[in-house]
Amino acid sequence: MDGSGIRQALSMMNERGSGEGAGYVAYGVYPDYRDCYALHVFFDNIRESKPLLDATLAQWGTIEHDEAIPTYDQQNLRVPCTPWRYFFKPDASLAVPGSATPEEDVASALVMQVNAAHRGALIFSSGKDLGVFKAGGWPEDVADFYRIEDYEGYLWLAHNRYPTNTPGWWGGAHPFNLLDWSVVHNGEITSYGTNRRYIESFGYTCTMFTDTEVVAYLIDLLVRRHGLDVDLAVRALAPPFWEDIDRMPEAEREWNSALRLTYAPAMMNGPFAIVAANADTMVGFTDRSKLRPMIVGECGDRLYISSEEAAIRAMEPKIESITMPAAGEPVIGRVAP
């Protein structure tokens, strides 16, 4: 799929945005560098900041290739920064000895350090063979700015932002990404203060001034570092109510209860519909009361998750099935091998 379809789908929901942020992530866009971490960076001032980041990256590993992300001026898009991309191989020997995922540990620590240092460089995309393309503007302008139709991916997320709690800036646009995981989010996480403090005690640093960022880190912690299946991780983030747990058969009650106790500070509250993805999975889930809409469409081997049916029909007019999952019930799609 190239990006033109999802651009059109997102356009259907412009009522849900304010022209202050939109973005796309596509998986499978960098096959030539599939073994490298594709670091997408916003430089505030490329002359000042790039030499600093180049030096840091040289310390942490090897830059295989780097270049400006191709962009095309749009009349309605003010560009305060320069988007750049690096194809980077981290030095796995820098990881803590005995780590199960040394390369990932180094890459994520690098992202955290660079973003927390606030030295005019923000790494907003850091996965292999994937790229986030986002900016502060309307979805069509952002898509045209990056010519999103030039990218060919097998899994796409996109988002149209209407910021309220936090400033509308380029870094704050969705999707948020850390390594393999990307997240788009409609809603407001009322437990953000608890979630952020929890995730920061595991070495993550929240730098984007927005609640969605923690979702990416929480999924990274639960799935990559704690080894939970995606559906269990999602269940920890949006667990069943106690009254439902109390009614479960004993074994099920026991592990659900353990999951709630252990990951209480990771549990997310407030209204949300979230779609998260990695290279082989796409998962959509809502808060336990479903205070934000989430619609699921299926057509052949394609899965669509959206806030509105109109967006799905814009991409797939002959959609075969449209369903509305119950509150808190996750929808998981796997990429066919």
Partner 1 sequence: MIGSLPSRYRIEVDPVRCMECGRCIENCSYGVFSRDGDRICINSRNCTACHRCIACCPRDAIMLEEHPCDYRSHPLWTREAREAIYNQARTGKIILAGMGNALNYPVIFDRLVLDACQVTNPSLDPLREPIELRTHIGKKPARLDLRRRETGDIELRTRLTPNLRVETPIMIGHMSYGAISLNAQVAIARAAKEVGTFMGTGEGGLHSALYPYQDRMIVQVASGRFGVNIDYLERGAAVEIKIGQGAKPGIGGHLPGEKVCDEISRTRMIPTGSDAISPAPHHDIYSIEDLAQLVRGIKEATEWKKPVFVKIAAVHNAAAIAAGVARSPADAIVVDGFRGGTGAAPQVFRDHVGIPIEAAVASVDRKLRDQGIRNEISVIASGGIRGSADVAKAIALGADAVYIGTAALVAMGCRVCGNCYRGLCPWGIATQRQDLVERLNPDTASKQVANLIHAWTLELAELLGAAGINSIESLRGNRDRLRGYMLDESLMQVLDVRSVGA
Could you list the residues that contact partner 1 (CB under 8 A)? 164-165, 187-188, 190-194, 196-198, 200-202, 226-229, 232, 241-243, 251-252, 254-255, 258-259, 261-265, 267-271, 288-289, 291
Residue among 259 and 276 whose Cβ is closer to partner 1:
259
Instruction: Please tell me whether residue 273 adopts helix, strand or coil conformation.
Output: strand
Residue among 198 and 304 whose Cβ is closer to partner 1:
198
Q: Give the residue carrying structure tokens 């670091």.
A: 39
Q: Using CA of residue 113, residue 116, residue 119, residue 125, what is the dihedral sign? A: positive
Residue among 87 and 217 whose Cβ is closer to partner 1:
217
Greatest distance between any 2 Cα atoms in the chain: 62
Using only C-alpha atoms, the chain has a radius of gyration, in whole angstroms, of: 19
Residue among 32 and 231 whose Cβ is closer to partner 1:
231
Show the tokens assigned to 63: 């830059």
We find the least distance from the C-beta atom of residue 248 to partner 1, in angstroms, to be 11
We find the least distance from the C-beta atom of residue 225 to partner 1, in angstroms, to be 8
Instruction: Please tell me whether residue 85 adopts helix, strand or coil conformation.
Output: strand
We find the least distance from the C-beta atom of residue 11 to partner 1, in angstroms, to be 23
CA gap 133, 137 in Å, rounded: 12
Residue among 102 and 270 whose Cβ is closer to partner 1:
270
We find the least distance from the C-beta atom of residue 271 to partner 1, in angstroms, to be 5
Residue among 150 and 229 whose Cβ is closer to partner 1:
229
We find the least distance from the C-beta atom of residue 280 to partner 1, in angstroms, to be 16
We find the least distance from the C-beta atom of residue 331 to partner 1, in angstroms, to be 18
Residue among 152 and 254 whose Cβ is closer to partner 1:
254
* Residue pair 256/245 in contact by the 8 Å Cβ criterion: yes
We find the least distance from the C-beta atom of residue 241 to partner 1, in angstroms, to be 5
Query: What are the two backbone dihedrals, phi and then psi, of residue 237, each rounded to the nearest 5 degrees?
Result: -80, -30
Residue among 178 and 259 whose Cβ is closer to partner 1:
259
* Residue pair 123/114 in contact by the 8 Å Cβ criterion: yes
* Alpha-carbon distances, residue 178 vs 108, 217, 261 (angstroms): 7, 7, 26
CA gap 219, 223 in Å, rounded: 6
For residue 47, what are the contacts with CB-CB under 8 A and spacing of at least 6? none
We find the least distance from the C-beta atom of residue 150 to partner 1, in angstroms, to be 35
CA gap 35, 106 in Å, rounded: 15
We find the least distance from the C-beta atom of residue 232 to partner 1, in angstroms, to be 6
Residue among 62 and 166 whose Cβ is closer to partner 1:
166
Instruction: Please tell me whether residue 134 adopts helix, strand or coil conformation.
Output: strand
For residue 193, what are the contacts with CB-CB under 8 A and spacing of at least 6? none
For residue 224, what are the contacts with CB-CB under 8 A and spacing of at least 6? 101, 104, 179, 180
